Amino acid sequence: MCGIVGYIGKNNAKEVIIDGLKRLEYRGYDSAGIAICKDGGLEVRKAVGAIVNLEQVVADPAFDGPVGIGHTRWATHGVPSEVNAHPHTNEDNTIAVVHNGIIENYVEIKEELIREYGIEFRSETDTEVIAQLIGIYYDGDLHEAVNKAVAQMRGAYAIGVIAAAEPDKIVAVRKDAPLIAGIGKGCNYIASDIPAIMERSRQVYFIENDETIVVTADKIEIFDGNNKPVEHEAFTVTWDVDSAERGGYDHFMLKEINEQPKGIEETLLRRLDEDGNIKLDGIELTKEDLDKINKVCIVACGTAYHAGLIGKYAIEKMAKIPVEVDIASEFRYRDPFVDEKTLFIAISQSGETLDTLHALREAKRKGARVLSVVNVVGSSIARESDDVFYTWAGPEISVASTKAYTTQLTIMYMLGLYMGRLRGAIEESYYQRMVSELKEIPAKLARYLEKQKDVKRIADRFHRDNEMFFIGRGLDASVSYEASLKMKEISYINSFAIAAGELKHGTIALIDQGTLVVVLATQDALFEKMLSNIKEVQARGAYVLAVAKEGDTEVEKQADEVIYIPDCPDELTPLLSVVPMQLFAYYVAKARGCNIDKPKNLAKSVTVE
């Protein structure tokens, strides 16, 4: 995730900024840069990779100065590179901008700037558009120019701006992305996150949406969206650095579980055009392309593979194209039937999983068109694919994947709906209803996350168990696999998931008095069948924890305990039902005293075969 740090005072800005950027390293980034005001001009230096690389390029005294802004970039628009790294400047390098977030209408603004002013853009980023736009409006008053530019920008962002001609100030704006101002002695700071500055300042202002701040060495002025000065009370930071990095959560996993409404929203809402229709980030997937395809092949590992299972359901149901889903390490060695009529979809959070990468190469060699669904921009899988559809989940730090999974699911639904509509395989009314139901998911999930407290209580009761079962039918079976994987990887409990109808063919022999069976029963169409499965395991003494939709009260009469998720169409329940399962694994692991964010024997990206 991108990070911002700015300093204005008497000390050497680059040292303060480098310290601050290092404090944000834990969040992940691919490049970094700093701009300082120097001798009536601006100096900008950037480096790809670790902050130490940036440290080297700013080491010489020519880059000393008392005011500057810095940034760590996590690529969204354009690959990780020096040119795409921030800060970005306007044409004559008199304005420099750092930016977190996304400018939705940047293409529109960019085209206008090229058409009206003949501006030549240097990078692929949306951020450069901000710098160029402020440059056009700049007439000696940075605050005013920023206000004019912001009035034209749509999206969610925090920006920090400096101007060569006004080396006594930093102007910053917040719109739906975090921004704070830190109060120092004879100096002041801006930052996207508290850890960046908390070693130097523990008195901060939390900047609200649509507010602009003008920061000089001796004051911080805050203006509301109507440019009226407003006062905020300073907040005293009492947290330690570790807990500040986790945003106050005990673990990154819990933080990332709670970030899912935002992740789904980013992934979905930014890919809806003005009429609310799904667009694929410029990926050319025409009706003619789809007519040439006779099957889709989804390949991935672990949690991403589980997202692929939901992808099969979504694409087959909505686009009516046959889909095969394979575990990458299996696909590679079974000489799969893939040819130029295959659309190959690789799913990977890291974009570096070696088995998935090799499977992709194999599919390419056989002539398939390769589309990848990846979280890390510029990763190997992204670079080797014909098209990339990014999950905008932000960096996932906890080894156990959570927000990557739900954003991957979101993309699976989007692909299914997009292809289904293009092929005329679904009614327009169904398409519109599903898109609008998808749009509701972030709010429903946020509501669930606010209220959930049963999960911890239930986890505390079962955390000493040595085995657990997860069962479901249809989409619920796929979510069961993911629920069970989460449980085993962080709590080390021997958990097992199975399609509920398959239980009676052998596995039911393992159900004993007191065995915990988690029953996912969110599919209206399969609800009665699941009630029979509940009876079946209870007859062997199982304790049944059911997951059902609000309103399905019948399940209460059967199960020993029920967790309710908000109501939604059957098709979309995995986006909601997996969340109590992630929380269940989290709280069980916590009660068992496990190292949740770094479970034993696991790595965040698996680059070995």
Active-site annotation, residues: 2, 604
Q: Which amino acid is at 160?
A: G
Give the containing element (helix H, strand E) for 430. helix 428-451
Residues 215/170, Cβ–Cβ less than 8 Å: yes
Tell which one of 188, 192, 258, 356 touches ligand F6R (CB under 6 A): 356
Residue 579's Cβ-count burial label (10 Å; 0-12, 13-18, 19+) is buried
CA distance 566 to 589: 25
**Smallest separation, CB 317 to ligand F6R (Å):** 24
Closer residue to ligand F6R in complex, CB, 188/401: 401
Q: Is 400 in the site for ligand F6R (CB under 6 A)?
A: yes
Q: Read off the DSSP letter of residue 249.
A: -
Residue 39's Cβ-count burial label (10 Å; 0-12, 13-18, 19+) is exposed
Closer residue to ligand F6R in complex, CB, 211/266: 266
Closer residue to ligand F6R in complex, CB, 449/606: 606
> How many residues sit close enough to ligand F6R to count as binding (CB under 6 A)?
15
Closer residue to ligand F6R in complex, CB, 168/326: 326
At 585 the three-state DSSP class reads helix
| Pairing mode, strands 229-230 and 212-215 | unpaired
Tell which one of 304, 310, 345, 471 touches ligand F6R (CB under 6 A): 304
Footprint of ligand F6R on 88-147 (CB under 6 A): none
Q: Is 577 in the site for ligand F6R (CB under 6 A)?
A: no
**Smallest separation, CB 399 to ligand F6R (Å):** 6
Closer residue to ligand F6R in complex, CB, 304/370: 304
Tell which one of 489, 552, 571, 597 touches ligand F6R (CB under 6 A): 489
Q: Is 495 in the site for ligand F6R (CB under 6 A)?
A: no
Tell which one of 78, 101, 182, 302 touches ligand F6R (CB under 6 A): 302
Among all residues, whose Cβ is closest to ligand F6R? 302
Residue 553's Cβ-count burial label (10 Å; 0-12, 13-18, 19+) is exposed
Give the containing element (helix H, strand E) for 141. none
Footprint of ligand F6R on 329-348 (CB under 6 A): 348
**Smallest separation, CB 304 to ligand F6R (Å):** 4
**Smallest separation, CB 307 to ligand F6R (Å):** 9
Q: Is 605 in the site for ligand F6R (CB under 6 A)?
A: yes
Q: Is 380 in the site for ligand F6R (CB under 6 A)?
A: no
Tell me which long-range contacts 269-277 makes (C-beta under 8 A, separation of at least 24): 269/439, 270/102, 270/104, 270/392, 271/414, 272/435, 272/439, 276/432, 276/435, 276/436, 277/421, 277/435
**Smallest separation, CB 3 to ligand F6R (Å):** 22
Q: Read off the DSSP letter of residue 319.
A: I
Phi-psi region of 140 (alpha: psi -120 to 50; beta: other; left: phi over 0): left
Query: ω into residue 580 within 30 of 0, thus cis?
Result: no
**Smallest separation, CB 371 to ligand F6R (Å):** 15
Neighbours of 42 (CB within 10 A): 25
Closer residue to ligand F6R in complex, CB, 209/595: 595
Footprint of ligand F6R on 263-292 (CB under 6 A): none
Q: Is 211 in the site for ligand F6R (CB under 6 A)?
A: no
Q: Is 401 in the site for ligand F6R (CB under 6 A)?
A: yes
Closer residue to ligand F6R in complex, CB, 434/588: 588
Closer residue to ligand F6R in complex, CB, 55/330: 330
**Smallest separation, CB 66 to ligand F6R (Å):** 42
Closer residue to ligand F6R in complex, CB, 379/515: 379
**Smallest separation, CB 396 to ligand F6R (Å):** 8
Q: Is 483 in the site for ligand F6R (CB under 6 A)?
A: no
CA distance 556 to 562: 6
| Residue labelled with tokens 């690389």 | 53
| Pairing mode, strands 180-183 and 166-175 | unpaired
Single out the residue of 552, 542, 355 nearest to residue 467, CA to CA. Answer: 542
Residue 584 has, within 13 A of its CA and on its CB side, a CA count of: 29
- Residues ≥6 apart with Cβ < 8 Å to 302: 401, 485
Tell which one of 31, 123, 125, 350 touches ligand F6R (CB under 6 A): 350
Q: Read off the DSSP letter of residue 65.
A: -
Q: Is 379 in the site for ligand F6R (CB under 6 A)?
A: no
| Residues contributing to the site for ligand F6R (CB under 6 A) | 301-304, 348-350, 353, 356, 400-401, 485, 489, 605-606
